[in-house]
């Protein structure tokens, strides 16, 4: 009887081990399948990006020249250039960064470090998160109502730059808060224990430590702003202009709008000009990222 009971126990234990082994093999199979699927999707996306870049390079490289950078747009492809749109983009991005950086970093720092906990803080945080997902065309309408009509800036570079500043402001605030949260609490406690005020802790310890993460978010936000078209069309950016802006209140055009205008033309030469404009836009984004990376590395060396 005892031997029979022992055989049943061994049998049930063997069945349990077999079932556990089968479940383990199934999980491993699913994990392998998931990993290979993600890898295949990644390779597919990288391949698509490489194909698009190759297509742009092959069409645009022959048109890149000093004349292309120094001539204004024209109805004749061989005489067209991006001087007006290039200077317009630089003006707009300069105003956007000047407005959005101090306001965004300051607001994020206040919300995360200095503002008391409560329903008001939760409400503001929720609205900022919602604003980060609002379509860019809505910010164009907002810029049209506030900067063009209410403040009477007109269809100027200032209106376009401030509108794009509003567009990236929620992103900078959110990234600033997340970077500040990543700073160890022990740094704050040690500084407070040494007699530093709350503002001194933020200024001399928390912000420098989180500078790398904040700058990374700023790079992403500016990269989004430099390629926007819809908000600028609503606030009065024109597609054809024969001069460069001399002040923030002048009319302007930008590279994305000029590229969009060329793509809509029937001649193949204008499409190739658009590809050349895309290459210049990518070069500007690369230079902005390079400057930000250099600044980030210098700051990291300073505080190590």
Instruction: Write down the domain spans for the chain.
Output: 22-62, 69-298
Q: What's the mean pLDDT in 188-199?
A: 83
Q: What's the mean pLDDT in 167-180?
A: 91
Place 2 in a pLDDT band, splitting at 50, 70 and 90: very low
Q: What's the mean pLDDT in 194-219?
A: 84
Which pLDDT does position 294 carry in this prediction? 79
Q: Smallest Cα–Cα separation from 293: which of 186, 212, 199? A: 212
Angle, helices 211-226 vs 83-109, to 10°: value is 140
Q: Smallest Cα–Cα separation from 284: which of 112, 15, 95, 89? A: 89
User: Hunting for tokens 């923030």 — which residue is that?
Assistant: 248
Q: How remote is the C-alpha of 59 from its chain's centroid?
A: 27
Place 12 in a pLDDT band, splitting at 50, 70 and 90: low
Q: Smallest Cα–Cα separation from 255: which of 165, 160, 162? A: 160
In the predicted model, is pLDDT for residue 300 greater than 80?
no
Q: What's the mean pLDDT in 222-251?
A: 84
Which pLDDT does position 185 carry in this prediction? 86
H/E element holding 172? helix 157-181
Question: CATH top-level class for 69-298?
Answer: mainly alpha
Which pLDDT does position 19 carry in this prediction? 60
Q: Give dist(CA 293, CA 300) in Å, integer.
A: 10
Place 235 in a pLDDT band, splitting at 50, 70 and 90: confident
Which pLDDT does position 264 carry in this prediction? 83
In the predicted model, is pLDDT for residue 18 greater than 70?
no
The mean pLDDT of the chain is 84
Which pLDDT does position 77 carry in this prediction? 83
Q: Give dist(CA 199, CA 5) in Å, integer.
A: 74
Phi then psi for residue 302, to 5 deg, are -65, -40
Residue 297 or residue 208, greater confidence = 208
Q: What's the mean pLDDT in 120-145?
A: 88
Tens digits of per-residue pLDDT, 28-41? Answer: 888 889 999 999 99
Which pLDDT does position 39 carry in this prediction? 92
Place 285 in a pLDDT band, splitting at 50, 70 and 90: confident
Which pLDDT does position 24 carry in this prediction? 75
């Amino acid at each position: 009887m005892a031997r029979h009971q022992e055989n049943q126990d061994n049998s049930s234990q063997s069945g349990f081990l077999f079932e556990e082994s089968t479940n383990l093999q199934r999980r491993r199979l699913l994990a392998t399948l998931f990993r290979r699927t993600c890898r295949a999707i990644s390779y597919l996306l990288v391949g698509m990006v490489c194909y698009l870049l190759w297509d742009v390079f092959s069409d645009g490289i022959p048109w890149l020249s000093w004349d292309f950078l120094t001539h204004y747009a024209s109805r004749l492809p061989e005489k067209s250039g991006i001087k007006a749109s290039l200077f317009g983009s630089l003006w707009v991005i300069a105003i956007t960064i000047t407005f959005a950086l101090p306001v965004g970093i300051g607001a994020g720092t206040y919300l995360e470090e200095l503002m008391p906990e409560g329903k008001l803080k939760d409400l503001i945080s929720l609205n900022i998160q919602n604003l980060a997902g609002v379509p860019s065309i809505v910010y164009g309408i907002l810029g049209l109502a506030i900067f063009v009509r209410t403040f009477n800036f007109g269809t100027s570079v200032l209106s376009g730059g401030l509108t794009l500043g509003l567009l990236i402001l929620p992103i900078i605030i959110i990234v600033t808060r997340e970077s500040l949260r990543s700073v160890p609490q022990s740094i704050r406690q040690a500084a407070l224990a040494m007699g530093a005020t709350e503002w001194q802790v933020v200024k001399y310890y928390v912000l420098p430590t989180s500078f790398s993460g904040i700058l990374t978010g700023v790079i992403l936000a500016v990269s989004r702003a430099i390629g926007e078209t819809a908000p600028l069309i609503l606030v009065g950016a024109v597609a054809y202009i024969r001069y460069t802006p001399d002040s923030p209140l002048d009319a302007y055009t930008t590279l994305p709008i000029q590229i969009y205008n060329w793509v809509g033309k029937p001649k193949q030469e204008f499409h190739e000009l658009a590809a050349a404009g895309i290459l210049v836009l990518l070069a500007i984004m690369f230079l902005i990222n390079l400057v930000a990376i250099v600044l980030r590395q210098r700051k990291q060396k300073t505080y190590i």
